[in-house]
């Protein structure tokens, strides 16, 4: 259940920012129909990668949810790192380390600065993955 809340909190924040941005950035969410822009404009892909759920008390009342939230910036190949690098900086500001998001009395925390991985190249696109770790605890 809490993976659903965690996903909704991160995706809601990402979508609000992407919709308010000029130009608006479309987002491909997991298991949701999506058609990539045909004009070569940028778009995002969002993934929640839950880790193993854990408990750190002997009574079993504590539950720890940990994982990674990844946002990939997809741009047209052959344009260099400029536009996707700027989007990456905006995303880093959107999800700062120690950010707390809450819903229904449940809080999740961004537990690492957003990191940029090596870009993935194809013939037509360049994909720049960005990710941070998160943690949420219940008692």
The answer to whether residue 78 scores a pLDDT higher than 90 is no
Residue 1's pLDDT is 59
63 contacts 55 by C-beta, under 8 angstroms: yes
12-66, pLDDT tens digit by residue? 999 999 999 999 999 999 999 999 999 999 999 999 999 999 998 888 889 999 9
95-107, pLDDT tens digit by residue? 999 999 999 999 9
Whole-number Å distance between alpha carbons of 132 and 36:
24
Whole-number Å distance between alpha carbons of 119 and 17:
23
The answer to whether residue 79 scores a pLDDT higher than 90 is no
In the chain, what is the greatest distance between 2 CA atoms, to the nearest angstrom? 56
- CATH 3.30.2000.20 given to domain 2-138: yes
CA of 124: how far to CAs of 40, 78, 121, in Å? 8, 8, 8
pTM over 0.85: yes
Whole-number Å distance between alpha carbons of 126 and 43:
11
């Amino acid at each position: 259940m809490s993976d659903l809340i965690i996903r909704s909190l991160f995706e809601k924040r990402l979508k609000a920012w992407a919709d308010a941005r000029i130009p608006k950035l479309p987002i491909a969410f997991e298991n949701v129909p999506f058609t990539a822009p045909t004009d070569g404009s940028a778009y995002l892909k969002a993934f929640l990668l839950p880790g193993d759920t854990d408990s750190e008390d002997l009574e079993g009342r504590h539950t720890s949810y940990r994982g990674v939230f990844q946002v990939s910036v997809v741009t047209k190949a052959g344009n260099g790192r400029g536009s996707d690098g700027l989007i990456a900086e905006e995303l880093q500001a959107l999800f700062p380390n120690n950010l707390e998001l809450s819903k229904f009395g449940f809080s999740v925390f961004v537990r690492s600065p957003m990191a940029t991985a090596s870009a993935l190249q194809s013939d037509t696109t360049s994909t720049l993955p960005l990710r941070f770790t998160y943690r949420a605890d219940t008692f």
